[in-house]
Amino acid sequence: MEKQTKKTKSNLPNWIIKEKNRQRVKETVLGKEIIEKHGFVYLKFEDKLKLYRYNHQLGYWEIINPLEIGSVVTDELEAYDMYSMGNKKKTYDYIRTILKTINKKEIVYQLSEERTRLNNFNNCVYDVLSGKRYKHKRSYYFLSTHGYNLPEVKGNTQQTNKWFNESFGINAQFMKEYIGYCFHKSYEPFQEFVILLGTGGNGKSTFSNYLTKLIGSDEVSNVDLNRLTDNNDRFSKSRLIGKSINIGGEVSAKFLKDTSLIKALTGDDKANVESKGQDGIDVKLYAKLLFACNELPPFRDTKKGFKRRICIVKMNTIEDFKTKYSMKTIESEIGSFALECMEAYRQAYHRNKLSVTEDMKKERNTWLTENNKVQQFVNEYCISDDPKSKESLADLFKKFREFCFANNYEPGKPIHLRKELTNLGFETTTHARGPEGKDARGFIGIRLKTESKTPKETGLM
């Protein structure tokens, strides 16, 4: 009675051909049936061709090892007592040939407008801008899932909201909108990025880990801000391809060398992305940017295009967190809270405005003022595009004092100016022209504009 259904005349599949007193396998028919049944296809993504299989239950294409095809072929043949090395090899070779010549699709980097709105959950596909739900289907070509069911209606999120309100205070609503924004694979209509500001050990790591689970680990990259603004780091931004959010670790207080990539990433512009051993490609990266830091870093970019993108959110320290909150309970609310965040974002999208608070504006302006006092001086009083120029610290500080008094700034001491100019990337030297033409401490790559000097300072008297 063992495996009685294996091989009865009435239920033989059409890939078994009866010839005289024996049966043989028609590998072309079996191969096509396996491809259709298991959804095998080669997809080209990030300029790499890989074999995928459609996961019917979760609605996305998952990478598989080509050897798995052989296991599937073996199972099909053994189910009808038709297994032999010859039958397996012929069928396997046929499937690989068909997949590489016909069943091949390139996943384009530029998503359609509809596709930017859609998100794949375990139980449905959700449109973040309309709130509509759809059934899974292969043609969406999702390569991941957010990893949990999305409830039909929002359930209990009491513990999560309490945690958010205590952590972010009046900025909690903005944070929920920004999380919802991560489910929209576009930087339209907003261009903001977030810096979480707080002392060490105040829960930024706990929040980052939670956010990774909410968005889905396959949709999260982890490149820090310093690397993204370093032109010498050619490959970091390739890790953002196809990601919904980049959660950067602790930002160091080092000078941010080049913020142009931040503007490109948040401006819906194309960025040239390189991977090791491959040519660069121009691609739109839609990953939202969130970084954590204890101290805000200095930067040289003073253009409005960068300034207006900055959203600084203070994160409060919660005393006795483990006695107040259960992460198990918070994570059990993750589906309902994701729905709440997407609804909050949808409202912000339709009113064309995120809930940026006065507190956030104040934090941003404070950073810009502290960072740009020296930068403003450099822009107005100095020339900084000649790498061979030099200026003494004494002359720079003398003019800086005049600038500060004229603008009601506190000039501080020469050592403070020296530190800020160093942070802005200027190199120190002991061979700048000092009083009476002697060598003095100063900086390379900067000099006072002639019109800002007195005749005595220029050497004309």
Q: Coil, strand, or helix at residue 75?
A: helix
Q: Give the residue numbers spanning the domain of 409.
A: 370-458
Question: Of the ranges 71-85, 213-227, 444-458, which one carries the lowest mean pLDDT score?
Answer: 444-458
Average pLDDT value for residue range 220-246 = 86
The burial of 441, by beta-carbon neighbours within 10 Å (0-12 exposed, 13-18 middle, 19 or more buried), is given as: middle
Write down the pTM of the prediction.
Answer: 0.77
- Tell me, what's the pLDDT at 246? 95
Cα atoms in the Cβ-side hemisphere of radius 13 Å centred on 5: 1
How confident is the model over 376-402, as pLDDT tens digits?
A: 899 889 999 888 899 999 999 999 999
Q: For the domain that residue 341 is a member of, what is the CATH number?
A: 3.40.50.300
- Tell me, what's the pLDDT at 254? 64
Rounded CA separation 355/361 (Å): 11
Residues 179 and 324 reside in one and the same domain: yes
Residues 223, 239: contact at Cβ < 8 Å? yes
How confident is the model over 398-451, as pLDDT tens digits?
A: 999 999 998 878 888 999 899 889 888 899 999 888 766 788 999 999 999 987
Q: Which residues pair with 256 in a beta bridge?
A: 299
Residues 324 and 189 reside in one and the same domain: yes
Question: Of the ranges 175-189, 339-353, 410-424, which one carries the lowest mean pLDDT score?
Answer: 410-424
Residues 170 and 229 reside in one and the same domain: yes
Residues 203 and 99 reside in one and the same domain: no
Average pLDDT value for residue range 296-301 = 69
Say if 61 falls within a structural domain.
Answer: yes
Name the band, by pLDDT with cuts 50, 70 and 90, for residue 355. Answer: very high
Residues 348 and 375 reside in one and the same domain: no
Tell me, what DSSP letter sits at residue 125?
A: E
Residues 330 and 385 reside in one and the same domain: no
Helix (H) or strand (E) holding 431: strand 427-433
Q: What is the mean pLDDT of the chain?
A: 87
Q: Coil, strand, or helix at residue 378?
A: helix
Residues 312 and 384 reside in one and the same domain: no
- Tell me, what's the pLDDT at 6? 53
Question: Of the ranges 87-96, 209-218, 361-370, 385-394, which one carries the lowest mean pLDDT score?
Answer: 361-370
- Tell me, what's the pLDDT at 47? 65
The burial of 414, by beta-carbon neighbours within 10 Å (0-12 exposed, 13-18 middle, 19 or more buried), is given as: middle
Residues 227, 268: contact at Cβ < 8 Å? no
Query: Does residue 109 have a pLDDT over 60?
Result: no
Rounded CA separation 214/157 (Å): 13
Rounded CA separation 461/452 (Å): 15
Residues 56 and 188 reside in one and the same domain: no
The label of the residue with tokens 């602790």 reads 250
Question: Of the ranges 235-239, 428-432, 454-458, which one carries the lowest mean pLDDT score?
Answer: 454-458
Residues 206 and 337 reside in one and the same domain: yes
Residue 249, φ and ψ in degrees, nearest 5: -75, -165
Residue of 352 and 9 predicted with greater confidence: 352
Count of structural domains within the chain: 3
Q: Coil, strand, or helix at residue 204?
A: helix
Residues 409 and 341 reside in one and the same domain: no
Query: Does residue 27 have a pLDDT over 80?
Result: yes
- Tell me, what's the pLDDT at 231? 74
How confident is the model over 111-145, as pLDDT tens digits?
A: 777 889 999 999 999 999 999 999 999 989 899 99
Query: Does residue 30 have a pLDDT over 90?
Result: yes
